[in-house]
Amino acid sequence: MKHIPRKRFGQHFLSDRLIIDGIVDAIAPAPGQPMVEIGPGLAALTQPLVERVGQLTVIELDRDLARRLREHPQLKVIESDVLKVDFTAVARDLQVPKLRVVGNLPYNISTPILFHLLTHVDVVQDQHFMLQKEVIDRMVASPSTGDYGRLSVMLQWRYAMENVLFVPPESFDPPPRVDSAVVRMVPHETPAALQPQLLEELVQVAFSQRRKLLRHTLGRWLEARAFGGQFDTQRRAEEVPVAEYIALAQALG
């Protein structure tokens, strides 16, 4: 029976064989690697991946799709909302130190998924995700650009990232109304030690009024914390490099 894509799950199924091959080549799966796929859907990416790795863990929320996937002998199916999945526990259950995580993420909750995975980054070897191109542009953005913001800082603190493949709307069924792309995310081996919640709060305050100078937002926040160090608040949030936000979070922590 044909599966009807469900809007509430943000379902757009990849159907372009050339794009699928390009994504698999970018991931470069090898036999025996512990891999987890988020949102396998109709298994367009799942099948070529499992053929290369041998066994694959998949996370699928849609009950009908999960039932179909369970019929595949090489798949371990976790039927769940990905935001409730404990990836650290998944690695422990598989008895591996690190996971390779891949997927065509639902565009309506892609940012929450990225932040959820950030809390499990210690058990991640790398991540390859298809996302709305606009989101990836923000993830990899440089300072002093319109795309640079909270997402850029929080993710660049922890990952080296690269936009590896453009994916047009017609590669999906049904086609989304936006362009898509594939991003590679590799955790830094020795990330700066800091309190993630503090960095997140700091960055959120900084970008809360991005058109204003930081003295109106982050400056007042620092004053309330009786910060005695040096930090130039005569700039806008988008002018501050990631390294400076990290250094400030470390000084406050």
Annotated binding site for S-adenosyl-L-methionine: 12, 14, 39, 60, 81, 104
3-state secondary structure the chain: CCCCCCHHHCCCEECCHHHHHHHHHHHCCCCCCCEEEECCCCCCCHHHHHHHHCCEEEEECCHHHHHHHCCCCCEEEEECCHHHCCHHHHHHHHCCCCEEEEEECCHHHHHHHHHHHHCCHHHEEEEEEEEEHHHHHHHCCCCCCCCCCHHHHHHHHHEEEEEEEEECHHHEECCCCCCEEEEEEEECCCCCCCCHHHHHHHHHHHCCCCCCEHHHCHHHHHHHCCCCCCCCCCCEHHHCCHHHHHHHHHHHC
- Show binding-site residues: 12, 14, 39, 60, 81, 104
Yes or no: say if 44 and 20 are a contact pair by the CB < 8 Å rule: yes
Amino acid 134 reads E
